[in-house]
A and B are shown apart, each in its own frame.
Chain A
Amino acid sequence: MSSSNAKDGEFQDPLENYDPPKFDDPIERALHEETVLAIQSQPCTRVSADSTVAEVLKTLVGEGIACVLVEAGGKLVGVVSDRDILDKVALEYEAVQDKPVRDIMTPDPVYVDENQSAASALAVMAVSGYRHVPVVDVDENIVGIISPQRVTKFLRNCMDQQ
């Protein structure tokens, strides 16, 4: 259906009556208005899918991190986290230490696009239960990773702005 203005050939902004939500609460405002990039996502550690389990474990411990991104051909193919170590490595170390990490990683991780809202990263954590959420760009290249500590810092920063 056309409006009378459209019939007259004049442009009518379809969003002219749109009233964007307003937030008094600093956390709600940040979650709605900021993108995922407002949450720290760097540095992030990447390993090749061909790296051995022993090498990746050494990386996790050496860097004091709980999760690494696994890439193949420049694309994200999986993650290895403390959960994977607990579930697939801790009791089987002798058998898996020399195997490629692709054998024990969590494949096809749930990720967020860098342009999505900050809330989307929290949604993945709350709904899917993942603690580490990779961030990718529009071409699905790795941008970074959001960790629990980084979300905590983001929430604290929002609260401090009050």
Chain B
Amino acid sequence: MGLFEDMNKETVSRLELRPVVVIQDGGTVRDVVLQLREANLGCAISLDGDGKPRGMFTEAMLRALVARDPAEIDTPIESHLAKTFPWVKTSDPIETVLAAMEAKNVRFVVVVDDDGKVVGLTGQKGLMEYVAEHFPGEVLVQRVGTKPYPEEREGA
């Protein structure tokens, strides 16, 4: 099977999901920024009592907030959450991640199980890793670095 077929047949559970940064009740934007810095992630999720997602806060939202009024950093995060956000089920085809990113023009997609509980986060990075994994001969030999060629001869 090729990548095209795989993306339509394999499910989201096949992707390596990223852990979720959970927004604590009563916290401020500052608290969430500190959490995101520590986790090296750009998205945090607010959950209800059943572990289902009820809101999202992303670094894109933070950018707008700081530009609007930096003092809002110390306001409750609850008032800044996006109530609608893209999500997919672990049983959905991987292609739905692509569709969700396209539809909302976002990088992060929440992944839930069949009961609607959050199990992880995916998006651009997960999708790129999946594509790279399916294309090892071309991808894994690529130079990764800022210098296109060695400045000094290597070896003899």
A interface residue numbers (CB < 8 A to B): 23-28, 31-32, 57-58, 60-61, 66, 82-83, 85-87, 89-91, 93-94, 108-111, 113, 116-117, 119-120, 122-129, 131, 148-149, 151-153, 155-156, 158-159, 162
* Chain B residues closer than 8 Å to A87, beta-carbon distance: 37
As a 0/1 sequence over residues 82 to 98 of chain B, the CB contacts with chain A under 8 angstroms (1 = contact) are 00000000000001001
Residue of A nearest to B133 (CB): A126
Cβ contacts A to B, 6 pairs, < 8 Å:
A61-B64, A86-B33, A90-B62, A110-B145, A113-B148, A131-B107
| Cα of A120 to Cα of B146 in the assembled complex, Å | 13
Summarize B's interface: helix, strand, loop or mixed.
Answer: helix
B interface residue numbers (CB < 8 A to A): 2-5, 7, 30, 33-34, 36-37, 42, 59-60, 62-64, 66-67, 70, 73, 95, 98, 101-102, 105, 107, 123-125, 127-129, 131-132, 134-135, 138-140, 142-146, 148
Say whether B63 contacts A91, CB under 8 Å: no
Residue of A nearest to B100 (CB): A152
Q: A31, A94, A110: which contacts B135 (Cβ < 8 A)?
A: A31
* Chain B residues closer than 8 Å to A23, beta-carbon distance: 2
* Chain B residues closer than 8 Å to A32, beta-carbon distance: 135, 138
